[in-house]
Amino acid sequence: MNATTMLALALVVIGAAPEVRAQHASVVINLTEQTAYLFENGRVALVSPIASGKEGWGTPTGRFHIIKKDMNHVSADFGLVVDGYGRIVNPNATPSSPVPLGCHYMPAPMPDYMQFGPFLGMHGGFLPGYPASHGCVRMPHDLAAEFFARVEVGTPVEVIGNARTVTHVRRALPLVQLGAPGREPNPHELIGSAQNLTQVRRALPVVQPDSRRGTNSYFRAKAQ
């Protein structure tokens, strides 16, 4: 085998490496439980609470795969209108929303974005304790970063369950400061900014490798 052939073969192997790694990981998003599971080699490795799409913007169910990763993604469709002091004028703005004099439009940050469908992905954000997004799957920032680091383009994603039959409502998980006393809230903080974490949890496996807890939850939702 000559040097040119060996180089070509090496490039093919290197290019295929992310796809090979992706085959060992998969993600299951359970809308009923408002929970995402990362499986590695068939076992639950990470579990994260989520906030999926709200009524009218429901996260679609089905089988997908990661098609794009972007650590510093921002929304092309939604954001805020804020004034010069950072006060929110319109919390549900779009790029075409009216912007009063002295204000500006700010696209919503979507850090650690893992796209698995058209205008659809997992990312770090604010979790109010119930389905609240425009279709994306929000996660606490630390767990979104863990998922981001451990999935690849090509990783399978399966969305199951039904957000209309959420099994329980969680307390809000705002892993951001919502403004110190005596000052106006920062719009980035209200959306969820990794720069304003009040705490960072170590994203340890919630389910031990020999436990059936995570897989029971998965198959229970699959049977619905």
Residue 160 lies in a domain: yes
Confidence of residue 169 (pLDDT cuts 50, 70, 90): confident
CA atoms of 20 and 13, how far apart (whole Å): 10
**Within-domain flag for 102:** no
Q: What is the pLDDT of residues 69-113, one digit of tens each?
A: 999 998 888 888 999 988 989 988 889 999 999 999 988 889 999
Strand partners of residue 117: 120
Q: Say what percent of the chain tops pLDDT 90.
A: 51
**pLDDT tens sequence across 38-76:** 999 999 999 999 999 999 999 999 999 999 999 999 888
Supply the range of the domain harboring residue 191.
Answer: 19-74+109-222
Beta carbons within 10 angstroms of residue 111's beta carbon: 21
Query: Do the domain assignments include residue 90?
Result: no
The answer to whether position 95 is within a domain reads no
28 in a structural domain: yes
In three-state secondary structure terms, 121 is: strand
Mean of all residue pLDDT scores within the chain:
76
Domain membership flag for residue 205: yes
For residue 199, pLDDT over 60 is answered with: no
* CATH number reported for the structural domain that contains residue 217 in this entry: 2.40.440.10
Q: Are 54 and 135 in contact (CB under 8 A)?
A: no
Instruction: Kindly write down the DSSP assignment for every residue of 55-120, as one continuous string.
Output: TTSPPPPEEEE--EEEEEEEEEEEEEEEETTS-EEEEEE-TTS---TTEEEEEEEEEEEEEEETTE
What's the domain count of the chain? 1
Position 214 in a domain? yes
